[in-house]
Amino acid sequence: MAPVPADQLETPTPATAPVRNAGKAAIAKFSRHRLFTSPGAVAGLVWLVAMVAASLTAPLWLPYKTEDQDFTAVLSGPTGAHWLGTDELGRDILSRIFAAAAGTLGTSMLTVIVGVGLGTILAMLAAGAGERTEGVISRVTEVMMSLPGTVIILAVIGAVGTNIPVVMAILGILMSAGIYRVILGQAKSLQSQLYVDAAKVDGASPLRISLRHVLPGLANTIVVQAALIFAVGMLIQAGLAFIGFGPPIPQPSWGGMIQGASQHVYDAPWMMVPTGAVLALTVLSANAIGNALGKAPNAAAPHLPSAAARRQRAKAVAAIAAAPVPTAKDGALVRETAKGTLSVRNLSVGVDNGVRLVTDVSFDVEQGTVLGLVGESGCGKTMTALSLLGLLPSGVSITGGQILWNGRNLAATTDKDMESVRGREIALISQEPMRALDPMFTVGYQLTATIRRLRGMGNAEARKEALSLLEKVGIVDAARILKTYPHQISGGMAQRVAIALALSGQPRLLVADEPTTALDVTVQAEILSLLRALVKDTGMSVVMVTHDLGVVADICDQVAVMYAGQVVENGRTAAILDSPRHPYTLALLAADPHANHANDMPERLATIQGQVPQPKDWPTGCRFAARCQFAGSACLEPVPLLPSGAAEGLVRCVKADQLAVEGMDWLATDIPASRLLEVTSKQTLLTEKDMA
């Protein structure tokens, strides 16, 4: 049995370590919560927690009773005996502020519970129970919103007296109508999600669907609304007390104290300061918390990076710009980048402060050629493609390497500068054409607006160009399509329009992320032949992300096969499809029914056991080893990308030559014991059996 390399041996750890690590991870995750990344929200939270704690424990520590009068210090400013001064009756302001705090905070919370609770229940009911119920609830809430809230509150006070909890609960009922309107749209959108349909098919009751599938999706909006209503409740309560509808005298209230202070604004201006400041700070704190929570991923456009992500990216960009230019390493192709050639060098992409998703990826795309990025789901194709456009999702950034394009390193380009590249030099077409089209506007409006913005044309000229672009992408009745809305055209037509949109800035490179996956087979063929014709006619290049080897064979000049965030093999398409040098490419071809000739179609198609490992589980050696039929002890070491011997191809496999010489096939059976190498996650244990 071969020895296990030292760097892959697990260090024995005490039994308590996992618990401690889990605790640390939980604390780290908690501290990254958006609430704690906003200084304003942290300060607000600290203030609110301190206020609640101080008000709840007030009877234990307050220096004076609220009604104690000190006639030797009437209307005094801050003194040793009265830290925040006294009022016109010599009562201690500090004691009165905190004695009033519990009531003010508690009854404001009551408004939140009634308002947000009722609004949420009504919205979930309306979203789940069909149009009639929604219609009834909506009409009722419209009536509630049309009622004069102040008059109703004053009428309630007239009827029940200044019973603050009752008044604040009624205020909550009045506010619930507005909250219902805010939450309804989101609840309806959640009700139309596929997983909700699946739950219905599984026979889940409407109540269970609402609680299990809809309510969690509303959590963010509910919390934000609660924070804002809490602030509004406090202000309204203070306002009522100011005009004399607060708790009965001598019971203190913040509004009543401000009203008292307003009588002495000239002779004792200080008196206004402590209560006013505490009220303002408490309201600001609730708003700051609401604002921070409102910046949740589902509250913002998901494709736009957050400020924190942008800061992180700016840091990464600066580090990449300062790094020395990589040279030919381990045989990797390094050529002078000609104009119109894209050269990606040692590109790495990772989650900010987290795992790496793509490592050390290199490839070239020459002008007028198509490169296919191929591999199973989760191999990092999309992350690589989106890096080219600076469109990585929020929280994911380029961590190293270069993207050389027209004399610039796009990996070290700021977000602002990327704006002049996107659309004009490099454009994107995505898997789902409807993502590129706004359902609110006609195709013509969207195309002309984009052409005017990217090419600086006038309206009439842009309209002509839009027509010509639609004709270029094979749309026969272009004039009619210009007037249609996206939902009025088919998927294939929408993809043609999306391609026309991508072409409106006359880009030299098109990044196509599985552009045919969502289309049916005949339309797929049409779109592929359209792309082929566009490459030929315009001389632009294409980076085509796909998991379909048929698409690769059909359109790609070069192919880069990706596995677990790495390129494992690249080179000319014909060379790679004819004589693959990496076992993963071999396996993909063996598993593809179209890659096998009808005559020698095996009885059983090959499979690749297991799954692509998660980025956190990548082993230090060959990442494919755990699934590979040919793995051996040498595969436990990191494997560089080396010339494959076929044209300019590169391969990341220590056994590539042996496989090529011996002409070994990927077997359609389970991995034979004679070829088995057990590679467990993280820790790689070699149990080689009968390996030569």
Ligand X SMILES: Nc1ncnc2c1ncn2[C@@H]1O[C@H](COP(=O)(O)OP(=O)(O)OP(=O)(O)O)[C@@H](O)[C@H]1O
- Least spacing, CB of residue 377 vs ligand X, in Å: 3
The CA-atom distances, in angstroms, between 482 and each of 396, 429, 491 are: 37, 19, 16
- Using CB under 6 A, which of 199, 383, 421, 542 touches ligand X? 383
Q: Rounded to the nearest whole angstrom, what is the least distance from the CB of residue 388 to ligand X in the complex?
A: 12
Which one of 110, 396, 421, 540 is in contact with ligand X (CB under 6 A)?
396
> Does residue 512 interact with ligand X by CB under 6 A?
no
In the complex, least distance from residue 679 CB atom to ligand X, rounded to whole angstroms: 18
Q: What does the per-residue mask of binding to ligand X show for 529-558, with x meaning CB under 6 A?
A: ------------------x-----------
DSSP per-residue codes, 137-149: HHHHHHHHHHS-H
DSSP 509-578: EEEEESTTTTS-HHHHHHHHHHHHHHHHHH--EEEEEES-HHHHHHH-SEEEEEETTEEEEEEEHHHHHH
CA dist 646 and 69 (Å) reads: 96
Minimum CB distance to ligand X smaller for 279 or for 383: 383
Smallest separation (angstroms) from ligand X to the CB of 395 = 6
Single out the segment in contact with ligand X by CB under 6 A; choices: 63-71, 361-369, 380-388, 482-490.
380-388
Based on CB atoms, which residue is closest to ligand X, 489 or 612? 612
- Minimum distance from CB of 123 to ligand X (Å)? 29
**Which residue lies nearer to ligand X by CB, 102 or 591?**
591
Instruction: Indicate the residue among 187 and 625 with the shorter CB distance to ligand X.
Output: 625
Residue-wise burial string across 279-288, b where 16 or more C-beta atoms lie within 10 A, e elsewhere: beebbebbbb
> 473 with 497: CB under 8 angstroms?
yes
Q: What is each CA distance from 294 to 27, 222, 524, in whole angstroms?
A: 22, 10, 41
Residue placing its CB nearer to ligand X in the complex, 381 or 472:
381
Span interacting with ligand X, options 100-108, 316-324, 389-397, 469-477, rule CB under 6 A: 389-397
Spell 252-261 as b/e; 16+ CB within 10 A means b: bbbbbbbbbb
CB of 384 to ligand X, least distance (A): 7
User: According to the binding rule CB under 6 A, does residue 382 interact with ligand X?
Assistant: yes
Least gap, CB of 591 to ligand X (angstroms) = 16
State how far the Cα of 43 lies from the Cα of 37, in Å rounded to an integer.
11
- 377 touches ligand X (CB under 6 A): yes
Counting contacts by CB under 6 A, is residue 567 touching ligand X? no
Q: Does 121 bind ligand X (CB under 6 A)?
A: no
Closer Cβ to ligand X, 357 or 503, answer by number: 357
Size of residue set near ligand X by CB under 6 A? 16
* Residue 507 interacts with ligand X (CB under 6 A): yes or no: no
Distance, CA of 366 to CA of 291 (rounded, Å): 47
3-state secondary structure of 132: helix
3-state percent helix, strand, coil for the chain, nearest multiple of 5: 55, 10, 35
Q: What minimum distance in Å lies between the beta carbon of 682 and ligand X?
A: 16
For ligand X, the closer of residues 340 and 378 by Cβ is 378
Among the listed residues 96, 213, 345, 381, the single contact to ligand X using CB under 6 A: 381
Q: How many other C-beta atoms can be found within 10 angstroms of the C-beta atom of residue 651? A: 32
Q: With binding defined as CB under 6 A, does residue 615 bind ligand X?
A: yes
Edge-to-edge strand ranges of the sheet holding 541-546:
426-429, 509-513, 541-546, 370-374, 558-563, 566-572, 650-651, 642-643
Q: Which window, 83-91, 339-347, 379-387, 643-651, contacts ligand X (CB under 6 A)? A: 379-387
Whole-number Å distance between alpha carbons of 577 and 595: 9
Full DSSP string of 327-357: ---TT-------TT-EEEEEEEEEETTS-EE
Of the two residues 297 and 638, which places its CB atom closer to ligand X in the complex?
Answer: 297
Residue 626 C-beta: closest distance to ligand X, Å:
16
Instruction: Give the full edge-to-edge strand order of the sheet including 342-351.
Output: 356-365, 342-351, 396-405, 408-409
Residues 346 to 375 in contact with ligand X, rule: CB under 6 A: 351, 357, 375
Q: Residues interacting with ligand X, by CB under 6 A?
A: 351, 357, 375, 377-383, 393, 395-396, 547, 614-615
